[in-house]
Amino acid sequence: IITSFVFLLMVATFPISGWFALKIVPAYERMIIFRLGRIRAPQGPGIVLLLPFIDHWQRVDLRTRAFNVPPCKLTSKDGAIISMGADVQFRVWDPVLSVMMVKDLITTTRMTAQNAMTKTLLKKSLREIQAEKLRIGEQLLLEINDMTKSWGLEVDRVELTMEAVLQLPQENLAGPLAPLPPVPGLEGLDSTIQQLAAHLFGNTLALTGSANSAPEAADSVETVNEVESPTAAVPTASSRRKPSVDELLSAVELFLSESLVGQVGACYQVNIILPSGVRSTYFIDLSSGSGQVGRGLPEGSPDVVLEMAEKDLQDLFLGELRPLSAYMSGRLQVKGDLHVALKLEELFKAMKQRR
């Protein structure tokens, strides 16, 4: 009834109403019309009739368009920091889906392309990125299309653009860590934790431990089997066991201080997913005093809740993974203020700077 009444009203006021009701749609566009809230089939090209007051319409451009992904800083698998962007070409193949499924098509597609590019490049070394840009672009093309096909959009081309290499790869020239003598203050901890703490403290702490254990070192020289190679006692990377979560937190207590609390000033709840699928909860309270670390929930409400796998937590403490890289790759889930969550990196810096 309403549609018939508006149509008769438009006929009665013609040709004045024709000025507002008749629209010309070019061949490269389609017009999506919502009549009383219900979507109609795409209209055009040619002349399209719109009923005043009850029709709402939107034009959709079917031509190939392009946008750029702004350059962002990424850390490659080998530790290099690069500034990488991308140029993306796309077109709309289903105008109805492009209007119904996404509000801002270009912005949403740009964010999707940036996330896919970040997750892919984090798994590549700098040499692989430079040598396989075309192949990586084709891989990104398939991944982005898998996500955007339900929006009525198809990506035709992805071209990576490297702006600059901000930091060269960090090659591990030192080799595996040799067994260290007991470190003063850490005698009660597991030997793995002693190696971790000595590695983070640096050569100063290692030399101190060696000086304090000089008599034992002299005795050990007399009992060395000269037939065997001295390097046989050095454990390989595959044989060394990574410290557990409880061992890591025991080591963290040694680095807590009032100055660190002043820099961070937040309480973190850390949910760790073990390989068995069991979830364990810990807390790192850097909001007052000298800080606290322990198992279970914190006394008050945490400022940020972090969730990650046990292996990712081990990589964070061992310096093999940065919090920002873990978050961008999806290995670290953050509930709360991201800026506050990334302040936890001050703890890792403090562990490395105390030499």
Q: How far apart are CA 286 and CA 269, in angstroms?
A: 11
Does domain 245-353 fall into CATH 3.30.1050.10?
yes
Res 345: pLDDT: 74
Q: Looking at the predicted structure, is the pLDDT value of residue 293 above 50?
A: yes
Task: Please say whether the beta carbons of 327 and 290 come within 8 A.
Answer: no
What is d(CA 38, CA 58) in angstroms, rounded to the nearest whole number?
A: 13
Residue 293 gets which letter from DSSP?
Answer: E
Dist CA 72 CA 161 (whole Å): 11
pLDDT digits (tens, 9 = 90+) for 181-231: 554 554 444 444 444 444 444 433 333 444 444 343 333 333 334 333 444
Instruction: Assess contact for 343 and 325: CB atoms under 8 A.
Output: no
The pLDDT value given to residue 178: 42
Can you tell me the mean pLDDT for 324-339? Answer: 78
In the chain, domain spans: 1-61, 64-167, 245-353
Q: State how far the Cα of 103 lies from the Cα of 114, in Å rounded to an integer.
A: 18
Q: Is the pLDDT of residue 283 over 80?
A: yes
What pLDDT score was predicted for residue 20?
Answer: 77
User: Following CA atoms 137, 142, 146, 147 in sequence, which dihedral angle do they give, to the nearest 10 degrees?
Assistant: 0
Whether residue 164 has pLDDT greater than 80: yes
How much is the mean pLDDT over the chain?
Answer: 77
Could you tell me which residues are beta bridge partners of residue 305?
A: 269, 335
Helices 245-252, 310-317: axis angle to 10 degrees equals 30
Query: Which residues face 45 on adjacent strands?
Result: none
Please state which of the ranges 14-18, 43-47, 347-351 shows the lowest mean pLDDT: 347-351
Helices (H), the chain: 2-12, 16-21, 95-100, 105-121, 126-131, 133-148, 191-201, 203-212, 214-222, 245-252, 258-264, 310-317, 323-328, 338-342, 345-353
Amino acid 111: pLDDT: 92
What pLDDT, in 10s, does the model give residues 52-89?
A: 888 899 999 999 999 999 888 888 888 888 998 999 99
The pairing of strands 279-286 and 38-39 is: unpaired
Cα(253)–Cα(283) distance, integer angstroms: 12
Task: Say which residue the tokens 């860590």 belong to.
Answer: 177
Mean pLDDT (whole number) for 245-263: 77
Token reading at 64: 């190939």
Residue 46 φ then ψ, to 5°: 115, -155
Q: Which CATH number fits domain 64-167: 3.40.640.10, 3.30.479.30, 3.30.380.10, 3.50.50.60?
A: 3.30.479.30
What is the signed CA dihedral for 119, 319, 295, 290, rounded to 10 degrees?
-120
Q: State the pLDDT at residue 112.
A: 92
Please state, in angstroms and rounded to a whole number, the distance separating the CA atoms of residues 43 and 21.
Answer: 14
pLDDT per residue as tens digits for the range 86-144 = 999 999 999 999 999 988 889 999 999 999 999 999 888 888 888 888 999 999 999 99
pLDDT of residue 96: 92
- Taking alpha carbons only, the member of 158, 155, 135 closest to residue 145 is 155
User: Which residue has better confidence, 33 or 294?
Assistant: 33
CB 291 within 8 A of CB 284: yes
